């Protein structure tokens, strides 16, 4: 799979993960991005955050332990901003707003679900969204949406949008329109990263907009 490095210096590395490539090693034994980048660098890297295997886009890695600690602090303080673009089947409640739910992960099935705030296993999940455009393709209303996460929960965007009545196009786990086993790619892409350099403390920002799959219906955006 074709992964790409956008930026690299002595402290950090920003790369694009292809859809279908694991962020880190899993039980499949398939090549993962972390291992590929560590071979490129010749030493271990710190995994700052992750993307689900079907999801592609931007990831930042720490090249030193000091940088890894600095990024962990940024994540904890909410200073590492992550933005996504997605194509949803249907419409969200408003053109711009936020979704607040409590999510619980099923360790056996590796799926998450929305639960009551009183459920002891539930964790609060918050995302902000803006609908950029809607279109009707072959009788199906599609929404092109920008999302920013306030929290980072397991399958958060996938679960929350589905619970709001607009599951992600191509999501075989949470969208009943798409059956498992097909070749359709999920329309969810990590398109925006913004943070502070772990050594110089200067701000940095990277963007990579998706163009393939269902995103082609909104190529002008």
DSSP strands (E only) in 43-108: 46-47, 56-62, 81-89, 96-106
Is 52 among the catalytic positions? yes
DSSP helix/strand/coil, 7: strand
Q: Which tokens is 37 given?
A: 């980048």
Q: Which of 103, 152, 107 lies closest to 123 in space, CA to CA?
A: 103
User: Dmax over Cα atoms in the chain, in whole Å?
Assistant: 52
- Say if residue 152 is exposed, middle or buried (CB neighbours under 10 Å; 0-12, 13-18, 19+): middle
Phi, psi of 135 (to 5 degrees): -150, 155
- Residue in 52, 101, 171, 208 annotated catalytic: 52
Instruction: Tally Cβ neighbours within 10 Å of residue 103.
Output: 22
Instruction: Say how far apart CA 216 and CA 220 lie, in whole Å.
Output: 9
DSSP 8-state class, residue 116: -
Element (H, E) at 59: strand 56-62
Contact of 160 with 127, CB cutoff 8 Å: yes
The set of catalytic residues is 52
């Amino acid at each position: 799979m074709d992964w790409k490095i956008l930026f690299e210096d002595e402290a950090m590395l920003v790369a694009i993960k292809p859809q279908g490539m694991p962020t880190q090693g899993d039980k499949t034994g398939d090549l993962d991005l972390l291992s590929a980048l560590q071979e490129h660098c010749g030493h271990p890297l710190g995994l700052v955050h992750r993307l689900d295997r079907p999801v592609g886009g931007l990831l930042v890695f720490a090249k030193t332990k000091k940088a890894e600690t600095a990024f962990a602090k940024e994540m904890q303080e909410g200073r590492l901003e992550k933005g996504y673009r997605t194509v949803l089947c249907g419409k969200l409640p408003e053109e711009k707003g936020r979704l607040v739910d409590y999510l619980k992960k099923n360790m056996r099935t590796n799926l998450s679900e929305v639960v009551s705030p009183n459920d002891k296993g539930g964790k609060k999940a918050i995302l902000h969204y803006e609908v950029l455009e809607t279109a009707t393709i072959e009788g199906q209303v599609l929404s092109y949406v920008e999302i920013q996460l306030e929290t980072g929960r397991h399958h958060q965007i996938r679960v929350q949008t589905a619970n709001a009545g607009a599951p992600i196009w191509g999501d075989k786990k949470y969208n009943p329109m798409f059956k498992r086993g097909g070749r359709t790619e999920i329309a969810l892409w990590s398109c925006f990263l913004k943070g502070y350099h772990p050594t110089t403390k200067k701000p940095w920002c990277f963007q990579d907009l998706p163009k393939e799959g269902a995103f082609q219906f909104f190529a002008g955006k």
